[in-house]
Amino acid sequence: MQRQAAALLLLLLTAKTAAAWDMSMTSLADKLGDAIEVKGIQQGSIQSKLPLVLNVWPFVNATMAGWAALNNASSSAPWLDAVERVGNHCEDFPAECGWSVGRGSNADESGDVTLDAMIMRGDSMDAGAVAYLKDVRNAISAARLVMEHTQHTILAGAAATRFAQQMGLPLQTLNTERSTHAWQQRVAANCTPNWRVDVEPADSCGPYTPLPPSSNATDEAPAGGIGGRRLLAASTKSHHGFMGSHDTVSMAAIGADGKMAAGSTTNGWFFKVPGRTGDSSVPGAAAYVDGEVGACGCTGQGDINLRFLMCYQAVEFMRQQMDPKLAAEAALRRVVRRYSGAGATFGLFAVNATGYHGGAAFGWERDNMTRWMAGNPQAPEQLRQAAFPWAYAYQDASTGGKVVWVEVEDLSRIPEPQQPRRR
């Protein structure tokens, strides 16, 4: 299984695309062997030796970029630099990060690629974020400028772009032939599926108007559904495609001195409604840190996460002395109890101030990895028949220069802890 897992990682998550590798599964694993160690599903939290950098996805080169920044002795805040560098690497090399962020990633309904990002430091609790940012490739750097050069937390839209330019970041269109082609294909398919709810027209591009009140679905939420409203088209990850609609990149870093930071960057859903802001720009949602407690990074269905602030909750559970892995699971269970149907996919890691960390995940086997592998003719037969868990990555002082990939069992397979009776 370790060789299969390593092969999957190389196929999906390294600098090369699956099409670029013409070799057997065994040689794929051997090729990756010098760069990564694979840990199977863990029953408890893992203890790391500080310093430590964590990535919510096992993107090898991005994690290594963060590790290099974390060990820069000339920096006054290497733990903050590390978080920024992980995000920058994905923004600069989007193909290495599943097109989660950066130029040429997912366009919105209007055909524009826009970015959301946030960065936060645990010593001062300062945070900066940008939302619906256009024409600035390094969104997390723009977020850091908001944190360091304003008294605000979030800047959005065209004003955020102007601010980033004034602060010295270069402007360039984020649209590319790749993003434009994908957008044109969706328009040619009558703009369906999309993210609209209870509107008309139902089978063509807008402009859209609300359905008459008598046509609207009940407000009562169905058990396990993505929400209580009828969808114009089933807006789930499986419809948009795993590789074409990847998720938020969230990260955290703890320095040798114990200081820590967290952050997140993404371009959000493919064909999202223009103006949509996801969880990446909201402290406590896709990422959060408190230097007295620990940090968290999250990925998945951002619109649902915004209703629960999973990373804030995971850190608060650790404040109550909960084990990091159990804290991540507890934060995720609050969501899954309400949203567990198609499209509900989540993954998060939690790390405490002493370097213990663990993860929790839900829905990836069902909605993403298995379906993508099953339909990928370049994947070895063994991989196309298997089900794979979600995984996060870390690198610390004891990993010998390797990135460690930690597989996380789906929460549906883990019995819920018994709650003590309350009087």
User: What are the boundaries of each domain within the chain?
Assistant: 2-174+241-333+373-405
pLDDT at 94 over 80: yes
Of the listed ranges 4-8, 295-299, 331-335, the least confidently predicted one is 4-8
Q: What is the pLDDT of residue 199?
A: 95
pLDDT at 376 over 80: no
Give the pLDDT mean for 53-69.
95
Q: What is the pLDDT of residue 42?
A: 86
Dihedral pair phi/psi, residue 5, rounded to 5°: -65, -45
Strand partners, 290: 294
> Of all helices (H) and strands (E), which one includes residue 121?
strand 115-121
Is 40 annotated to bind ligand?
no
Is 299 annotated to bind ligand?
yes
Rounded percentage of the chain residues whose pLDDT exceeds 70 = 77
Dihedral pair phi/psi, residue 246, rounded to 5°: -70, 180
Q: Which residue has the higher pLDDT, 247 or 225?
A: 247
Where b means 16+ CB within 10 Å and e means fewer, 359-380 reads: bbbbbbbbbbbbebbeebeebb
Give the pLDDT mean for 81-91.
98
> In angstroms, how far is CA 45 from the centroid of its own chain?
21
Q: What is the pLDDT of residue 37?
A: 83
> SS3 of 348, please?
strand
Of the listed ranges 140-144, 337-341, 379-383, the least confidently predicted one is 379-383
List pLDDT tens digits, range 167-189: 999 999 999 999 999 999 999 99
Catalytic residue among 248, 265, 345, 370: 248
| Cα–Cα distance, 391 to 8 (Å, whole number) | 11
Q: Which residue has the higher pLDDT, 344 or 383?
A: 344
| Pairing assessment for the beta strands 36-39 and 403-408 based on DSSP bridges | parallel
Q: Residue 36: which pLDDT band, with cuts at 50, 70 and 90?
A: confident
Is 102 annotated to bind ligand?
no
CATH superfamily of 2-174+241-333+373-405: (Glycosyl)asparaginase (3.60.20.30)
In sign, the C-alpha dihedral spanning 208, 212, 214, 215 is negative
The reply to whether 114 belongs to the active site is no
Q: Which residue has the higher pLDDT, 28 or 408?
A: 408
> SS3 of 423, please?
coil
Is 375 annotated to bind ligand?
no
**Nearest to 372, CA basis, from 27, 90, 98:** 98
Is the CB of residue 91 less than 8 Å from the CB of residue 99?
A: no
Is 313 annotated to bind ligand?
no
- Distance between the two ends of the chain, CA-based, in angstroms? 47
